[in-house]
Amino acid sequence: MKDIFKAPFIIEMGETTANMYRQGWDERNGGNISYMLDEAEVAEYLDLNNVIRTIPTGFDAKKLAGKIFIVTGTGKYFKNVQKDPETNLGIVRISADGTTAELLWGYKDGGKFTSEFPAHMMSHIARLEQDPNHRVVCHSHPTYTIAMNTVCSTDEKDFTHKLWQSNTECVVVFPDGVGVLPCMVCGTEEIGIATAEKMKEHRIVVWTNHGIYGTGKNLDEAFGLIETVEKTAMIYMLALGHTVNVIPDDIIRGLAELWGLKMMDGVLDD
């Protein structure tokens, strides 16, 4: 068996959580990440027949039966993942009937996965149906995105338009736009269902007054989506009340045409 502490997925989880913490987006226990792993790769580091304990999933996760995820722990701080991955992370496999997760490694102090596990798993299901290469769901509390929620409506077309108008990168990085949920109680199956519904059309979903979900085929991609929204929200908030110049719709359309991208419907006037 290879040394799991040297596994690329453990190293990457440590790097990404540290990075997000240093951005100031993941205070205290804020934020959570789940990353679907390749079974053959995990088998190089762990005996897949050795289940440490089982943890209820809290919802019907049958569509992910047999899939293995590395997931940040509930109550755990992003700040601490890199120095103690075995306490702050866990590797779990969804059981055949989808009601439990089999712990294969981690949560060393008896802990369990994030309270947002249903939202993560339902988002994985929704994104995998759109893109078989999808692997990562990343939730965070980026400062300016949440600030933007306090001054903008929850209309996702309007929210997307404001982002596209503020930074030319935006339409190129997320032509599929940003899904926006109203302020809801988090940690519930209900917010999971609502998030997954948005994930059918968007790789990014904003939880109003709370934070953001970014997804992708790897950690870089999910992080990069959040980073682009957050940087643009910062530009928007810095300029708020002083705006004399935004990116015109014909330039936004021109960028999408140049890169051959299909834009979210209804954001720009036809």
Q: How far is the CB of 195 from Zn ion (least distance, A)?
A: 11
Q: Which stretch binds ligand 2HA (CB under 6 A): 37-45, 112-120, 158-166, 231-239?
A: 112-120
Residue 32 lies near ligand 2HA (rule: CB under 6 A): yes
114 binds, among Zn ion, ligand 2HA, none (CB under 5 to 8 A by kind): ligand 2HA
188 binds, among Zn ion, ligand 2HA, none (CB under 5 to 8 A by kind): none
Q: Which stretch binds ligand 2HA (CB under 6 A): 26-34, 48-56, 146-154, 240-248?
A: 26-34
For the beta sheet containing 100-106, the strands, ordered from the edge strand earlier in sequence to the opposite edge, are 53-56, 100-106, 89-94, 68-72, 32-37, 136-140, 211-216, 204-207, 178-181
Please identify which residue in the block is written with the tokens 């951005």: 23
Instruction: Write the binding mask 203 to 242 for Zn ion: x where contact by CB under 5 A, - elsewhere.
Output: --------x-------------------------------
Residue 101, exposed/middle/buried by CB under 10 A (0-12, 13-18, 19+)? buried
From 102, 116, 156, 227, the catalytic residue: 116
Residue 227 lies near ligand 2HA (rule: CB under 6 A): no
Instruction: Write the binding mask 164 to 193 for ligand 2HA: x where contact by CB under 6 A, - elsewhere.
Output: ----------------------x-------
Q: Which residue minimizes CB distance to Zn ion?
A: 211
The residues near 51 (Cβ < 8 Å, ≥ 6 apart) are 93, 102, 103, 104
C-alpha 45/C-alpha 24 separation (Å) is: 32
Site for ligand 2HA in 128-157 (CB under 6 A): 139
C-alpha 151/C-alpha 154 separation (Å) is: 10
Which of 18, 30, 201, 218: binder of ligand 2HA (CB under 6 A)? 30
Q: Which stretch binds ligand 2HA (CB under 6 A): 80-88, 108-116, 120-128, 212-220?
A: 108-116
Q: Active-site residue 116, yes or no?
A: yes
Contact (CB, 8 A) for 95 and 102 = yes
Percent helix, strand and coil across the chain, each to the nearest 5? 45, 20, 40
Which of 19, 23, 29, 99: binder of ligand 2HA (CB under 6 A)? 29
What SS3 state is found at 182?
coil
Structure tokens at 168: 């030319």
3-state secondary structure 10-41: HHHHHHHHHHHHHCCCCCCCCCEEEEEECHHH
What SS3 state is found at 210?
coil
Which of 34, 57, 82, 114: binder of ligand 2HA (CB under 6 A)? 114
Q: Which residues bind Zn ion (CB under 5 A)?
A: 211
Q: Which residues bind ligand 2HA (CB under 6 A)?
A: 29-32, 114-116, 139, 186
